[in-house]
């Protein structure tokens, strides 16, 4: 027993020395980390945890300043700021990257995964890494994927119980071709719009509805301007932790290692918090007066079939190597998670 305690003590001391040695290699740095979500959202909790972990690893030298709620601009403005080196980090939805690496559109293919475990396996595995590898030439470095959740439709007109219920509804979507064409396939009228403008558009009835994960709907108080919440679960959405390559290239190898480790550790925490919040959000949204409904499995299957030509059309325009990897990974993941 004494030997075990002594071994653990030595191991602990060694780890402390390693951290101390790494911290000595860190310089005083301030990292501006912007994102679109409110301070009570799981993405914000992930940023805070990342900042705590990085401060601990760097002996307090690397400080993260969080700028939530679109304070540093919308998705595209923050992406440009990272590419230009005037902002250090952001955590947008992966959808915002389709404009510079179109193959990120595969992440937005509707009805691809049906569980969090499947989503994590797809993004943390070879496909997610292959997409990340395409970012440095665009001025960005990615440190992994965070959870945003399955996207669901809200609107002020009617419950969505079948694909036909979407017909004619003006639905705000992310400015992304896959989302636009998916909702066109449902005969809705999709309206691309920056997230920061969405609440005002819903309030003014410029659009009838929108689609987002439950925690985003709650955090942004869409229940004040939307009556119906329908569990379409049409797309699994992830955030991606981005670093300006111009900033990344100024870091020492030790600092880059600290950043990667902090991001990996924060990812596990952020996913747990996000998924717990999503579960809780449905009840809270109902308590705020929203009418909630789930779709029958048969109707969701019909939606998947209607959206299938959209998936096939976009897949045909992407790098065949990425599409093959996507399909192979999905087949592997579905097989391993089958009952």
Q: pLDDT, tens digit, for every residue of 26-48?
A: 899 999 999 999 999 999 999 99
- Yes or no: say if 69 and 37 are a contact pair by the CB < 8 Å rule: yes
Q: What residues are paired with 238 via a beta bridge?
A: 147
Asked whether residue 20 carries a pLDDT value surpassing 70, the answer given is: no
The DSSP code sequence of 72-89 is T-SHHHHHHHHHHTSS-E
The contacts of residue 305 (CB under 8 Å, 6+ apart) are none
**Residue 59: pLDDT above 80?**
yes
Q: Which pairs with CB-CB distance under 8 Å and at least 24 residues apart come from 18-21?
A: 19/56, 19/57, 19/59, 20/59
pLDDT band at 294 (very low <50, low <70, confident <90, very high): very high
Quickly state the pLDDT bin for 2 (edges 50, 70, 90): low
124 contacts: CB under 8 Å, gap ≥ 6: 144, 145
User: What is the pTM for the complete model shown?
Assistant: 0.88
* H or E, element range at 246: helix 245-248
Tell me: the pLDDT tens digits for 134-143? 999 999 999 9
How does residue 233 score in pLDDT terms, banded at 50, 70 and 90? very high
Q: What is the pLDDT of residues 146-204, one digit of tens each?
A: 999 999 999 999 999 999 999 999 999 988 889 999 999 999 999 999 888 999 999 99
Q: pLDDT grade, residue 9 (50/70/90)?
A: low
- Mean pLDDT for the stretch of residues 60-81: 96
Residues 6+ positions from 151 with CB-CB distance below 8 Å: 211, 212, 213, 232, 233, 234, 235, 236, 237
| Rounded average pLDDT over 287-296 | 97
Classify domain 26-337 by CATH number: 3.40.190.170
Any idea how long the chain is? Answer: 339
- CA distance readout (Å), 198 to 177, 188, 226: 18, 17, 12
- Give the percent of the chain with pLDDT over 70: 93
Nearest C-alpha neighbor of 116 from the set 222, 6, 272: 272
pLDDT of 19 over the 70 cut:
no
Do 143 and 260 meet the contact criterion of CB atoms below 8 Å apart?
A: yes
What are the boundaries of each domain within the chain? 26-337
Looking at residue 240, what is its pLDDT? 98
- The pLDDT assigned to 196 comes to 87
Q: What is the pLDDT of residue 12?
A: 53
């Amino acid at each position: 027993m004494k030997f075990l305690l002594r071994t653990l003590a030595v191991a602990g001391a060694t780890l402390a020395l390693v951290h101390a040695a790494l911290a000595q290699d860190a310089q005083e740095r301030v990292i501006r980390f912007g994102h679109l979500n409110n301070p009570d959202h799981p993405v914000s909790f992930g940023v805070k945890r990342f900042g705590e972990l990085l401060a601990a690893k760097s002996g307090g030298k690397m400080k993260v300043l969080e700028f939530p709620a679109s304070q540093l601009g919308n998705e595209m403005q923050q992406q440009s700021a990272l590419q230009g080196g005037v902002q250090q980090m952001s955590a947008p939805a992966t959808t915002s990257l389709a404009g510079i690496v179109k193959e990120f559109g595969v992440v937005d293919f509707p009805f691809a995964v049906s569980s969090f475990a499947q989503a994590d396996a797809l993004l943390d595995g070879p496909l997610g890494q292959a997409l990340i590898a395409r970012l440095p030439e665009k001025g960005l470095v990615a440190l992994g994927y965070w959870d945003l959740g399955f996207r669901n439709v809200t609107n002020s007109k009617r419950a969505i119980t079948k694909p036909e219920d979407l017909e004619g509804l003006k639905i705000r979507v992310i400015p992304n071709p896959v989302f636009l064409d998916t909702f066109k396939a449902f005969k809705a009228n999709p309206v691309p719009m920056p997230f920061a403008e969405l609440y005002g558009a819903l309030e003014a009835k410029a659009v009838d509805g929108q689609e987002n994960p439950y925690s985003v709907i709650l955090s942004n108080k869409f229940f004040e301007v939307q009556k119906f919440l329908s569990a379409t679960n049409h797309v699994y959405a992830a955030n991606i932790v981005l670093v300006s390559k111009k900033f990344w290239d100024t870091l020492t190898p030790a600092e880059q290692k600290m950043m990667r480790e902090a991001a990996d550790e924060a990812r596990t925490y952020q996913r747990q918090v996000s998924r717990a919040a999503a579960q809780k959000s449905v009840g809270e949204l109902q308590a705020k007066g929203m009418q909630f409904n789930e779709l029958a499995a048969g109707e969701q299957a019909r939606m998947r079939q209607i959206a299938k030509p959209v998936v096939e059309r976009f897949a045909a325009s992407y790098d065949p190597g990425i599409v093959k990897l996507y399909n192979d990974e999905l087949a592997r993941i579905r097989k391993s998670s089958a009952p």
